Structure 1
Amino acid sequence: MACKSRTRNLQVWDTELSADAVEWCPVPAAHSVLACGTYQLQKGPELPQAGDGDVPHQRIGRLYLFEYRQEGPLTPPLTELQRIDTPAILDLKWCHVAVSGDPVLGMATASGEVQLYTLSDGPGQQGKRCLKEQTSQSVGPECLALSLDWSTGRGESSDVRVACSDSSGCISVLSLGGAGLETTSQWKAHDFEAWITAFSYWDTQLLYSGGDDSKLKGWDLRMGCSSPTFTSKRHTMGVCSIQSNPHQEHILATGSYDEQVLLWDGRSMRQPLSETAVGGGVWRLKWHPTHPHLLLAACMHNDFHILDCHNALGVGGGAACPTLASYILHNSLAYGADWSHLTPDQPPPGSPEGSPPPPDTSLAEGVGHLRIQYESPTASFDTSLEDDAGRYIPEGLAPAGPPPPAAAPPPPALGQAGDATPLPLSALLATCSFYDHMLHLWRWDYWTA
């Protein structure tokens, strides 16, 4: 039985500042709420007196809060509820459970802080939800907080902690109590930037981290963190994405600037279960909220992809993860990505009618060569994305790199070979991209033909 897959754009939102993080709220009462974070490096003008140096760079950000509503085909589904000017935002994560009755959003900022906001009904705003700053905690002077993760990934509220990685290579674990955030442990984990840290959702005393030293490490908080439980050098470039599978114990997904997605069994970290080339640095990975074999990847220079990990996680493993769908309508670095717990109400499409046109990739007359370097959203090293006249060039016009690997054979229909995922399947997703400062809302449909 043949299967068909289709992505369709629903809405595009200009975030004005470079967008790098997007998160749907996982708390059931607030599944319709979406947060988006931005990061902008403002370079100060050079002072007139020689030797005085430059005005320090400023990293500014803005936090957007949206609500998704299905009110009809002519009404944009996302409504902006709130915007808050903040320090530049490197990562956003909602706590998976309500805290004291309210959803809580965690934010890792360029000021070196973990900031928490509670979601509540705003007074005098006709019941509109809004975010209120609850508490914050610094993870160190002169560093950027780069990522965070909550210990509540399986929806359990008995142990609410936050892990944070930073630009000095350190990992911090913070507990959330009545007095706010308190740092319970902190240690030097990596030689360079610690791009990512994540809890094992099945044993929250276990923590993983990845850094610009190309190392993936494991830590057991019960044993202290003077040395890791393992160090893997299987990735060949900086490790920048990690997520524990909340549905299947011991399973871990990691991604790197080396353009590989690796799947692991946490009980044996010598070799990965699976390796998949995705053609772009893997900045974020997100397991589907209900289907254990679907993995969303934000692949920087190569768009967003939905991977089918069913065979890779089957008996024996070893198989690469075929791509079920790709979303290619962004024109810049693919950074933020997340699944919604909601599903679109409309039935799966029966024809391609109504699909948005592909992005315009024609080069303007007279455009010179492009100067592009790989970079992280911290702007630790400069990126030039312009022509010789200094004009901005969308990422889609960059000279093509090596061709992507040959497409894998079509995957089996989800629901076969022991996978309980039924067809048809419809999903609602949000993604954001950096230099074009765009947030996209889109849907993915997968059905039998």
Structure 2
Amino acid sequence: MPLILCFFLLQFLRPSSHATKLPPGPTGLPILGSLLEIGKLPHRSLARLAKIHGPLITLRLGSITTVVASSPQTAKLILQTHGQNFLDRPAPEALDSPQGTIGWIPADHVWRSRRRVCINHLFTSQSLDSLQHLRYKKVEQLLQHIRKHCVSGTPVDIGLLTSAINLNVLSNAIFSVDLVDPGFESAQDFRDLVWGIMEGAGKFNISDYFPMFRRFDLLGVKRDTFSSYKRLYEIVGDIIKSRIKCRASNPMSRNDDFLDVILDQCQEDGSVFNSDNIQELFYAGSDTSTITTEWAMTELLRNPRLMQKVRQELSEVIGVGQMVRESDMDRLPYFQAVVKETLRLHPAGPLLLPFKAKNDVELCGFTIPSNSHVLVNMWAIARDPGRRICPGIPLAIRMVQLVLASIIHSFNWKLPEGTTPLTIDMQEQCGATLKKAIPLSAIPFIEEN
């Protein structure tokens, strides 16, 4: 124990060649640095510190030097001007296999290859348009389920149902199968599975700030997250094995989905994709769209006047009793503004995934040393995702707009008895994404003309 304490003190007291050039920030405690100032909602804590120390600050988090950008100007310098220097990411220790995920692997030729496959075969306008009928079908299934609640007068868990729909859209695009059953009985299990991974990736873990402790998993974060990874591996792995077996017995058997594309590449030249990459598409792709839809409905239920304006625009543009179509979105400026304002107030990723500096770089007269971690506080500034922008954004935007417009246009909504617009719980829960801590529950109904 004395040897460990000596090590920490030496680390803390050791002079740094960059110390006088680093951006300003709190002094912090010996050994711990500013870890105790972060709290459970780091985006809010970092925004508060930025008001004190400026838009570019330095924090010592354990043994890790971390720089935080909290203004459009500093974010632009990191994401665009010097973007090539900040392409790599320090992966959280809780991740089961960060080398297998598009979001966390180093920005090398493997990352570029995987990203190119995703964009070319899943997220191009042509690919998205070809699956438009699938999205309409899944939204209609959602509306049919909500109609049952209209009859019974029971509340709907908005986040739970939209999570199920988003998962099924992705699973059909990738595997041509539904992950969640038509009756939504398994929706909660999958939602918990996805959040288990997202929470673990963003949860405080002492191993991330003191690398010497990584092998011990002192807080059990990796152990807890692994159970979610394991279950998702099993689900994805079984589907892949079944497809490989089917193709082996009948080489002409094809679904022409994303999995077929990956298996074709495997046979031809050795695919750079694996089951890790595919499962990442599920937990990242479904979670962010679900969070945005739930927050949008929450804000509209808190502001009945704005909800009525959205419903009026939808009725005038689409027509009462008509299905919402993606082609309608350009004619819905007020609805579009609601979605954008939701993204501003409640960004699904309040802190962009962290970056890691390759080399020393000067920003605003300060030096950002190599290997330091860099955070961009999107909760505090305008959106500008830079070179490592999520390739799935085109699908996410389509799903948020289509699902949100459909459930607002098809039903009136009211809060459960005992809840008013002023008493809706607005607490946040932070993982790798920022979700509503208490799920939104609302009762759908149809007004008789």
Give the alignment's TM-score, normalised by structure 1: 0.24
Q: Which is richer in helix?
A: 2
Higher relative contact order (CA 8 A, sep 6+): 2
Q: Which is richer in strand?
A: 1
Q: Which of the pair has more CA radius of gyration?
A: 2
Give the alignment's TM-score, normalised by structure 2: 0.24
